[in-house]
Structure 1
Amino acid sequence: MTAVEQAPAPAGKTDGSFDALRAQLQQAASDFADGPDALEGILRGIVDDVDRAVREPLEIFPVCHHSPASAVAMARRLREKQPRTVYLELCEDMAPLLTELRNCRLPVAVQAYAGDVDGFPPEWAPLSVVAPITEASAEYQAIAYALDTPGVELVLVDRSSDHVFQWQARDSRTAGPDGGRGKGTGPDAAPAEEEAALHGDAVGVEIGDLRPRFAELEEHLLRHGRVRHWSEWWHQYVELPLGDSDHDTYRQVMLLIGSLFRRLAPGDAERVGVDEDRERYMWTRMREHLAASGADPADCLYVCGAFHAASRVAEFGVAGSDGFEITPRSASTWQYGLIPSSHTAIEAQFGLAAGSVSIAAAQWAKNLRRTRVQPFRLAGQAGAKKPAKRAAAAAAAPVEGAVRADRLTGFLQRPPVLDRLDEAELLGWSVDIVRAARRAGYLASTADAIAVFETSILLAGMRDRARPTPYDFQDAAVTCIEKDTVPGRRDVRRLVEIMMGGDRIGQVGYDALPPLARDVHDRLAPLGLKLQQRGVQRALLDMASQPELSACSDVLWMLRHLMPHGTARPIMGERRLGERPIQESWDVALGTHQRALVELGYEGVSIEQVLEQRLRRAAYDPKATTATVLQAVEDATLYLRSRRLADELGQRALEVLATERSVDGAPEVLRRVRGLLAYYRTSEPVLPPWVEAFVTTGYAHYCTLLPTAFTDEDATVAQVAAMLGFLFSMESLALSLGCDRTQLELSFAQSHPQEPARVALLWAAKVRLGQLTRAELRARCDDLLGNPLVVPAYPRYLSGFLHALEPVPQLADFVVELVSSAFARLPDPVLLPWLPTLIGTLRAGGAELAPLLIREAGRIFPARLADLDTWVPPWLAEDAPAAVPLPAAGAGGGAALLAEHPAACDALAELLGCEEGWAPAGAGAPGLALAGRHPQTAEALAALLTV
C-alpha cells in the first residue's frame, strides 16, 4: 500500500451518481480476485476519487501536458463556462512574464534563473527552471483566454521556482524534480541534437505530468496495447477517443486515469511527499486568493494535471483544512525570461518519444478542423489570426449539476470506435515520405510508396486498428525504405517526424528580450543582418571605409568570449594587444543561440558589465593560477580597454604568483608577460607599477624555485625552460628595478639535475650566464657521443638543448651542430635504431621549437645539392691559431711599448687568462707573448697608453 492508499476517505456523503459504477467494479473485483480484497479497495477508491473531484464546488479541470485532447477540451470549456478566475498549476513567480508570450513565436519556455545562490549547495549553481509552452497545450489556452479577456484574472498557484530546489534539497535528491526527468533520461528519450539542447541543463516543470510510475503497469499496457512506447499508447487509447468527447466524459476519464496512476504508484515516500506537498501548496494558495478577492468558486476554474486533480490530502477543496505552512523563499536572486524551445527539446527533457510532440501538434490541427472549436491565441502573437467573436458562447453553458452525471460507465462499456481508413491521407503520406527519402539520398521509388501504403494497413490490422496511426506509418516507412544503411544525415524515422509537422522551433521576440539582448541587437544593427533568424549569416566589416563598424567588431569579439562556440566566429581577422584590424569577416548565429543570449541578460544590463564580472570571478576564484589571472588582464585590455580593471587584476596576479609553489603554469606565464610587456612598452610612457612589481617578484620567485624544479619529477623540461626564459628575458629589467644577480648565480650553483634533458638545459643556461664556454660545451657533447653507454640517451640531451632555445635562442646553430655531429660520427648500426627515438623525442618534447631549429639549419647548410660535396661545416672550418713570432724587446710598435711597462702588461695578461708572472726580455714573458698573438689589441693599448 502507498501513502496515498492509506489516506483517510474523503469526508461527506456521495450523491449516488457513481453507485452503478461502484457496484460493477465491486462485482468485477470479486470475480477476478475470488472475493473482495485489495483490488476492490483500489477500484472503489478510484471511483471515490473521481466522485470527490467532480463534487468540488471549485471546478477542477484535469489535463495532460501537450495533449491535443486536453487543449481542445480546455478551449471548449472556457467558451462555455467563461470563468472570471483561472487558477493554473504553474510556478507562481513566473506570472509577470506571461504577458510577454504575445511577443514570441511558440514554442517557447518560461525560465527562472538564479546565478548567485544563497541557501543551496554551491555546486548546484546556476539554478534554472523552465516551463515549456506550446500552442497545442491546455495551459496556453488558459493563459490566452485570461490575458485577452477583460475582467478575467489569471492566478498561478504552484510552488515557486525557489521551492522547487528547496524541496529537492530537502529530499536529498540530485535528479530533476517531478515532471523533469532530465535530458533524455526517459525510456522514450529523443535523439540528442542541437535543438534538444535548447533548454540546457534546466529543470523542467510542466503542468500535467501523466505517466504510470509503476513500471510493471506501463509494461503491461504497452504489451497488451501492441505499441512500442508510452507516447504511442497515449495517442491511440486516450488522445483519439477523447479528441471529440464532451466535457463531462473528458473530465471524468482524465480523473480516472490520474487516480489509477496515483494509486498504483510505488511507495516512494519522497516522491509521494513532494506530490502531496504540491497539492497542499496549490489549495492553500487558492483559498488565500478566494478569501482576499471574495471570488465565487462557481466562477473559478482550477487547471491542473490529472495526477494532482485526484488528490486525497486534507487541504483538498475550498473547504479543506489550513494546516499547511509555506516556507519562505531563500535569499537567492531569481531572474525571469523567455527562451526559445522546440518539439525536440521538450521530448528530450521530459523523456517523450521522438516526434511525439510534432505528432501531437498535427493531431491538434485535425481536432480543430473536426470539432470546429475556436482556439484562443494571444492577440498580436506571430502568426495569430483575429480572434473570433465570443458573444454566443455563453448560451452554450451547461446546466448546473449536469457535470455530476456518471459518464464513466458508458465510456468504459463502449466498444472502441473503428475509424474508417482515410486512403487519401495515407496515400499522401506515402508519396511525401518517398519524395523526402529521395532528397535525403535514399534510392526510393514508386514501388516503395506502394509498399509503405500496404505495410501501414497491414501493421494497423495486426495491432487491431482499422486506421493506421502516424506511428504505424513510421514503422512501415522504416521497414520499406531504410534497408541497411542511412546514406544521409537523417534516417527515415526522422524524415517521418519532419513530414508530420517537423521540429518547430520557437523564437523570443525583440520586445520580450532582456535589456542586454536588446542592446546587443541594437549595436549590431549596422551589420544589416537578420539577427533573430536561425542559422549562420556572414558579416563583412570594412573598418577602413566604415569606421562605425568598429563598435560592431567590439561587440562580436565580446560575444565570442562570452557566448557558446559558434555564436560569433571570426573567419578573417584577429585581435591582439596593440593591434587594430582594418577588415574582418564573421559567421554570426545569434538566433540559433538565443537561449544563451537571454541567460547572459540575467547577469547584467550590458555585455561589458557581464564580461567585467566574469573576468573578476575568474581572477578571484580560489583555484585561479597566475596564468589564468594574466589571461584576465589581457582580456580586460583587449575587449574592454579598461586600464583600471587591468591594473586591479594585475595586482591580483601578483598576489597569486607570490603564493604559488609549483611551476605548472610557467610557459603560459612567460608568454603572457612577454605580450603585456611589449604592449605597455609601445603604448604607455612608463610601465604600470604592477608590471614592475610582477617582474621583480617573479625574478625572485623563480630563482627560489629553480633548484627544486631541476630535480622535481612532476615538473617538465618545458616548464623549467619557461622559468629560465622568464629569468633571462626579464633579467635586465629586474636588475634595473633593484634585483640582485647573485640570486640567479646561487640558484644555478644549487641546481644538480640528473635527468639528461635537464642536464643539457642547465649546460645551455650556464653558457648564457658565461659560466661555460662554447668550446667546453662542445667538448662535453663530444664526450657524450664518444661514450657507448651514453649514446642511447643522447636524444634526451638533444631534447633538453631544443627546449633551451626558449631561454637561450643564440644556441640554435649549436643545436644544429649537435644533430649534424651525431649523424656524422655514429655508425649505421647505432644510428638507425637510434633515429626513431630521436624523432619521437624531438616531436614530443619540442615540436613548437622545431621551426626555429629548421630555419637555422636552412641558414647553415648549402641551398643547392651540388654544393654539398665541397661544403665544410662552420664548426670544422675554424683553423687552429697560427704561431706569431715574438717581437724583440725594445722593438717598435705596441709590443715594444708593452715591454717598457711590465706591470701593465702583466695585468693585461692576467685579465686575458695568462697566470704566469713577468719575465725579462727574451725569456718569453707571458704578457709579451700574448701581445704578439694579438697585435691589433697591443696597438690599441699602446695608443691608449700614449694618450
Structure 2
Amino acid sequence: MNSFAALRERLAEAAAEFAGPADAAADILAGIVDDVDRALSEELEIFPVCHHSPASALAMVRRLREKQPAVIYLELCEDLRPVVDELRNCKLPVALQAFAGDVAGHPAELAPLSVIAPITESSAEYQAIAYALDTPGVELVLVDRSTDHVFQWAPREERFAPEAEPADAEQLHGDAVGLEIGDLRPRFAELEQFLLHHGKVRHWSEWWDQYVEQPLVGADYDTYRQVLVLIGSLFRRLRRGSTAVDEDRERYMWTRMREHLAATGTDPARCLYVCGAAHAASRVEQFGLAATAEFEISPRTETVWHYGIVPSSHSAIEAQFGSAGGSVSIAAATWAKALRRNKLSPFQLAGQPGTGTAALPAITVPTRVTDQLTEFLSRPPALDPLDEAELREWSVDIVRLARRNGYLASTADAIAIYETSILLAGLRNRARPTPYDFQDAAVTCLEKDRVPGRRDVRRLCEILLGGDRIGQVGYAALPPLARDVLDRLEPLGLDLSKRRVQRALLDLRADPHLRPCSDLLWLLRRLLPAQAARPIMGSHGLGERAIQESWDLDLGRHQRSLVELGYEGVTVEQVLEQRLRRSVAAPDATAATALAAVEDALVYLGSARLADELGSRAVDLLAAERTVDDAPVVLRRIRVLLDHFRSSGTELPHWCARFVRAGYAHYCTLLPSTFTDEETGPRQVAAMLGFLFGMEHLAISLGCDRTQLELAVAQSHPESPEKVALLWAARFQLGSLPLEQLRSRCDEMLANPLVLPAFPRYLSGFVQAIDPAPALKPFAVELLSKAFGRLPDRVLLPWLPTLVTTLRDQAGELVPVLVREAARTMPATRNALNGWTAPWAEPTGPAPEAAAGPGPRAVAGLLHAYPDTTDALAELLGCAGTWQRPAADNDSSAVAELLTAYPTTADALTELLGTD
C-alpha cells in the first residue's frame, strides 16, 4: 500500500492549503488514492471501463492482445449469457434484452418487464465478448445480478417510474430499463456544474470527451487503469443518496467470481474482471479474492423471462442514458480514428461485417502496480496539433450536406466554419478543435434564421461525423415467431428486413395464394404498432372478404416489436389467442372487453370454439356488472355479432341466447336506478333502452317477460331533462304515452319561458331516443322545426349555441340520422318550400260550404283543375269518357249530377286530396 504514498502526500498538502487541515476534502482525496491502490493491488486483475468509451475499448484491445486471459468476468446480467452468442448474427448496435410479459413476485402494475443492455462496436464490453467467443479455450462468464434481481433490488420509486425515451429515438428501446457498464457521471449537481463551467463546455458528454477520453486514448495501460479508478472513486464518494443497490451488486459479482474460481480451479492470474470504474473502487467487505465475508443471494421470483436481441441505435442509446445528442456517434468516430492512428485491429465476431482477428501467442506480463497516476496528474495536458486537413474536410463536407438539405450555403461559409472552429477552440483553451467546436461553428455560420428542411445543422454535423447508426438483428438470431412471419410473407416478394416503407399490392382475385399473406398482415396490424403494417386499401371485419388490398409495410423499422412478440408464443395466432384469453380473465375485464375478444376471435382466427368460450365469459361478466358505463359499447358489439350470425346462416350460438336473456334481465333491473343516478349519463340510459327495445322480440322468444320492462319503466322517475325525454320515449315505445299527448307536452314546454332554457337538453334526449324508438325520428324533426319557427330571435339566438353544444356532446353520432330525416321531410327545392305545409301543421278550420260536405261544383272544379290525374285514374279503372266543361257556374253538368248522386264518394275523394 506504499506505491501511491507520494501522491497521497501531495494531495493531502493541496487539500490542507486550499480547504484547511480539518476539512473533509483531505479525507476524500486520501480515500480515493487508497481506493486506487486497493483496486490495482488485487490478485484478480480489474479492468475498469466507462460505458461506450473509445478509450476503454482501445485499452481493452491492447490488454487482451497482451495478456490473453483464459477467463473474462464481465459485469452483465448473468442470465443474458445464452443470448450473447447470437451477436455474431447481428449488425451493431443492438441490445441484449430480457422480457417478461406475465409477472409473478413483482408488482402487477409493472408488467411487462423489459431490460436491455446496448452493445456497440466501440465499447470495451463488445471487444471482450468478441475476443472470448472467437478465441478457443477462453470462457466468458457474466457475473452481475440477474434481470429478475434488477427489479427486486430497485428502489420502489424507480421501479414505479421507469424513464421513457422521447419519441424521436424511434422507440427502439421502448420503456425498457437500461443496463450500462461504467456509469461515470457525478451524481453531485454542484460538482457537475463546476466542471462544466470551468471546462467551458455545455454538457457532461463534451466534458468527458475533452478531459478524459482524448487524454486517455493514447495513454499506457497502467495510467488508464489508475485514472479510471480514481474518477470512479471520486464520483462514488461524492454521490448523494443510498448506494445499497450498487454495493449489493458488487457483493453479488465477487461472490460469483469466487464460486467460479473454486469450481474450475482457474489461476486468477489468467483471469480478467471487466466492470464499471465505480465498482472497481468498491469498499464492500466481499471485495477481493482473499475476502471471507459471505453474501446470501436471494432467490429469483417465479417470473418467466424471455431473452433475445433487439435493434438499437446511437440516438436510442443517448436517449436511454441521458447523453448529449451525437455523443455516441462522436465516440464511434473517435474510435475509428484512433484505430487508424495506432494501427490496431479490433476484435470482431465472425459472421459480422469484416473478419475477426486471430489471437496472438500468449505473452506473460508481470503484474506490478507502479505510480503512473502522479506523473499523469502533474504534467499539463498535451495539446494536439491542429489537423488542418481534417478540419478543412469537415468544413467543405458540411457545406455540401447543408446545400443538399436546402440551406443557402457557399464556399464562404466553409471558410467561415473553418476559422470559427479554430476561434472557438482557442476561446476554450484548446489547440485542436473538437467535433463539438466544429458543431457550434457550423450552427453559427449556417443556421441564419430558419431550418429549411427536416434536419437542423447540428443533426447534419452528427450525420457527417458518423451518423446515427442503427443496428439490425439477423434472421438466425430472431425468435421462431419472427422467422415464421418473414417466411409466410415471402410470397409478397419484398425484403422486409429493410428499414423503409415498402408498398405491397395484393390482387386476391387473380392471386388467391396471397390470401394467407393477407390474413397474416391483418393479424400483424392487430398485434404490432400501427405503422408496422398499415392498410391503404381494403378492410377486414365480420363477413368482409376484400378482393384487392394495398399495404405499407415497415417491419424492418419495428423489428423490436416483432422480436418481443416472439417472446409470447411460436406463432402470431397463438399469441393473439393467449392475449384474448388473458383480456377476458383480467380482474378489470368487462362484458364489452369480452365481446370485443369474441369479434377478434372470429375475424382474425376464425375459431368458433374460442368465440364460444369467450362469449360464455361475456355472459358471466355482464351478470356481475353493477354499472352500465359500457352499455353503448355492449349494444354496438352484440348487434354486430347478431347481424353476423344471422347473415351467415349459421345457428345462433348458445352463448348469444344466454347473453340476450341475461342482458334483458340485467338492464331491466338496473333501469330505475340509472334513470335517477346522477353519475350515469343519458348515453348509457339510451343504450340500455336500445338493448331492451332492440332485442325485445328475440328476448321474448327466448323466454323473457315483457312485463318486467313495463314495470321497470313505470318505476323510473328521472329529474334530468335528457332522461325525462328518454323516459317519455320509452313510454311511447311501450304504448302508454300516445304521440298526441307527447306532442302536447312538448308544445307546452315551448310556450313556457321558464322551461325554455332547458329545452335543448330535452331535445338532446329525444335525439338519443331515436335509437331505441326509431318511430320518433319525425317527431324530433318536428320539435326542432317548431323551435326555430316559433321562438323569436331575441330568444332563439342566445339559445342556439346551447342547442348546438348539447347535441354535439351528448348525441353527436345521431345528429346525421336527424339530418337525413329532416331532408326526407322537408322539400328538396326552394320553390317547393313556398307552397309546402308541414305534416304536423294544425288545420285552419273548415270552410262554411264544407261544413255540410263539399258541393258538386267544388268537386267538378277540382277535377277540371287536374285533368291528367283524372284521366290516369279513369284509365286505371277501365272507364272511357269525354270531358264536359260547364258554361257557367250555375250550369248543371253531368259530372255535377253524378257527384250529387254519390255524395259519399265525393266526400272521400275530397278528403283524400286534402281540399275543402
- TM-score normalised according to structure 1 size: 0.86
User: Is the CA contact (8 Å cut-off) linking 1:724 and 1:807 kept in structure 2?
Assistant: yes
- The code of the aligned residue for 1:768 comes to Q
Aligned equivalent of 2:288: 317
Q: How much does 1:608 deviate?
A: 1.3
- Which of the residues 138, 158, 170 maps onto 1:174? 158
DSSP-derived class of the 2:417 partner: helix
Distance, in Å, in 1 between the alignment partners of 2:320 and 2:147 is 17
- Which of the residues 38, 51, 54 maps onto 2:37? 51
Q: How much does 1:840 deviate?
A: 3.0
Change (3 A) 1:831 1:176: closer
User: Is the CA contact (8 Å cut-off) linking 1:630 and 1:672 kept in structure 2?
Assistant: yes
- The code of the aligned residue for 1:664 comes to D
Change (3 A) 1:804 1:32: closer
Change (3 A) 1:208 1:704: same
1:358 maps onto 2:324 in alignment: no
User: Is the CA contact (8 Å cut-off) linking 2:66 and 2:365 kept in structure 1?
Assistant: no
Q: How does 1:425-436 map to 2 (within 5 A)?
A: 425-436=390-401
DSSP-derived class of the 2:158 partner: coil
User: Is the CA contact (8 Å cut-off) linking 1:883 and 1:933 kept in structure 2?
Assistant: no
DSSP-derived class of the 1:109 partner: strand
User: Is the CA contact (8 Å cut-off) linking 2:250 and 2:279 kept in structure 1?
Assistant: yes
Q: How does 1:477-626 map to 2 (within 5 A)?
A: 477-626=442-591
Q: How much does 1:758 deviate?
A: 2.4
User: Is the CA contact (8 Å cut-off) linking 2:151 and 2:159 kept in structure 1?
Assistant: no
DSSP-derived class of the 1:194 partner: helix
- Which of the residues 758, 783, 803 maps onto 1:838? 803
DSSP-derived class of the 1:197 partner: coil
Aligned equivalent of 1:8: none
User: Is the CA contact (8 Å cut-off) linking 1:284 and 1:322 kept in structure 2?
Assistant: no
1:703 maps onto 2:639 in alignment: no
1:373 maps onto 2:338 in alignment: no
User: Is the CA contact (8 Å cut-off) linking 1:569 and 1:587 kept in structure 2?
Assistant: yes
Change (3 A) 1:245 1:176: farther
Q: How much does 1:648 deviate?
A: 1.3
- The code of the aligned residue for 2:29 comes to L
Q: How does 1:39-188 map to 2 (within 5 A)?
A: 39-168=25-154, 171-174=155-158, 182-183=163-164
User: Is the CA contact (8 Å cut-off) linking 2:446 and 2:457 kept in structure 1?
Assistant: yes
Aligned equivalent of 1:724: 689
- The code of the aligned residue for 1:22 comes to R
Aligned equivalent of 2:202: 228
Change (3 A) 1:727 1:237: same
User: Is the CA contact (8 Å cut-off) linking 1:183 and 1:351 kept in structure 2?
Assistant: no
1:451 maps onto 2:416 in alignment: yes
- Which of the residues 294, 301, 310 maps onto 1:330? 301
Aligned equivalent of 1:775: 740
DSSP-derived class of the 2:309 partner: strand
Distance, in Å, in 2 between the alignment partners of 1:654 and 1:149 is 62
Aligned equivalent of 2:227: 253
- The code of the aligned residue for 2:739 comes to R
- The code of the aligned residue for 2:219 comes to S
Aligned equivalent of 1:7: none
Distance, in Å, in 2 between the alignment partners of 1:162 and 1:371 is 41
Aligned equivalent of 2:749: 784
DSSP-derived class of the 2:512 partner: coil
1:400 maps onto 2:366 in alignment: yes
Distance, in Å, in 1 between the alignment partners of 2:23 and 2:691 is 84
Aligned equivalent of 1:891: none
Aligned equivalent of 1:869: 834
Distance, in Å, in 1 between the alignment partners of 2:579 and 2:483 is 20
Q: How much does 1:41 deviate?
A: 3.6
Q: How much does 1:794 deviate?
A: 2.8
DSSP-derived class of the 1:868 partner: helix
DSSP-derived class of the 1:539 partner: strand
Distance, in Å, in 2 between the alignment partners of 1:504 and 1:46 is 37
Change (3 A) 1:794 1:173: closer
* RMSD, aligned CA: 2.4
Change (3 A) 1:41 1:509: same
Distance, in Å, in 2 between the alignment partners of 1:434 and 1:65 is 33
Q: How much does 1:406 deviate?
A: 2.2
Distance, in Å, in 1 between the alignment partners of 2:281 and 2:763 is 79
C-alpha offsets along residues 66-93 of structure 1, whole Å, 9 cap, x if unaligned? 0001101101111111111111111111
User: Is the CA contact (8 Å cut-off) linking 2:348 and 2:357 kept in structure 1?
Assistant: no
User: Is the CA contact (8 Å cut-off) linking 1:29 and 1:36 kept in structure 2?
Assistant: no
User: Is the CA contact (8 Å cut-off) linking 2:101 and 2:111 kept in structure 1?
Assistant: yes
- The code of the aligned residue for 1:95 comes to R
- Which of the residues 276, 294, 302 maps onto 2:273? 302
Change (3 A) 1:770 1:492: same
- Which of the residues 355, 368, 376 maps onto 1:386? 355
Aligned equivalent of 1:914: none
Q: How much does 1:684 deviate?
A: 4.5
Distance, in Å, in 1 between the alignment partners of 2:730 and 2:100 is 53
User: Is the CA contact (8 Å cut-off) linking 2:55 and 2:216 kept in structure 1?
Assistant: yes
Aligned equivalent of 2:875: none
Change (3 A) 1:762 1:29: closer
- The code of the aligned residue for 1:705 comes to L
Q: How much does 1:551 deviate?
A: 1.4
DSSP-derived class of the 1:90 partner: strand
User: Is the CA contact (8 Å cut-off) linking 1:196 and 1:348 kept in structure 2?
Assistant: no
Distance, in Å, in 2 between the alignment partners of 1:526 and 1:851 is 44
Aligned length: 855
Aligned equivalent of 1:291: 262
- The code of the aligned residue for 1:182 comes to E
Q: How much does 1:543 deviate?
A: 1.3
DSSP-derived class of the 2:296 partner: coil
Distance, in Å, in 1 between the alignment partners of 2:830 and 2:907 is 41
Aligned equivalent of 2:895: none
1:346 maps onto 2:312 in alignment: no
- Which of the residues 261, 269, 281 maps onto 2:252? 281
Q: How much does 1:389 deviate?
A: 4.2
User: Is the CA contact (8 Å cut-off) linking 2:247 and 2:284 kept in structure 1?
Assistant: yes
Distance, in Å, in 2 between the alignment partners of 1:729 and 1:884 is 47
C-alpha offsets along residues 2-49 of structure 1, whole Å, 9 cap, x if unaligned? xxxxxxxxxxxx3x4333333433443444445486444433333332
- Which of the residues 776, 781, 801 maps onto 1:811? 776
Structure 2, gaps ≥5 residues long = 854-903, 909-916
- The code of the aligned residue for 1:811 comes to L
User: Is the CA contact (8 Å cut-off) linking 1:176 and 1:182 kept in structure 2?
Assistant: no
Q: How much does 1:602 deviate?
A: 1.4
Change (3 A) 1:313 1:877: closer
- The code of the aligned residue for 2:205 comes to S
Q: How much does 1:252 deviate?
A: 2.0
- The code of the aligned residue for 2:571 comes to S
Q: How much does 1:98 deviate?
A: 0.5
After the TM superposition, which of the residue ranges 665-674 and 835-844 deviates more from structure 2? 835-844
- The code of the aligned residue for 2:434 comes to T
Distance, in Å, in 2 between the alignment partners of 1:427 and 1:613 is 60
1:465 maps onto 2:430 in alignment: yes
Aligned equivalent of 1:741: 706
- Which of the residues 152, 155, 177 maps onto 1:203? 177
Change (3 A) 1:853 1:34: closer
- TM-score normalised according to structure 2 size: 0.89
Distance, in Å, in 2 between the alignment partners of 1:194 and 1:746 is 59
- The code of the aligned residue for 1:212 comes to P
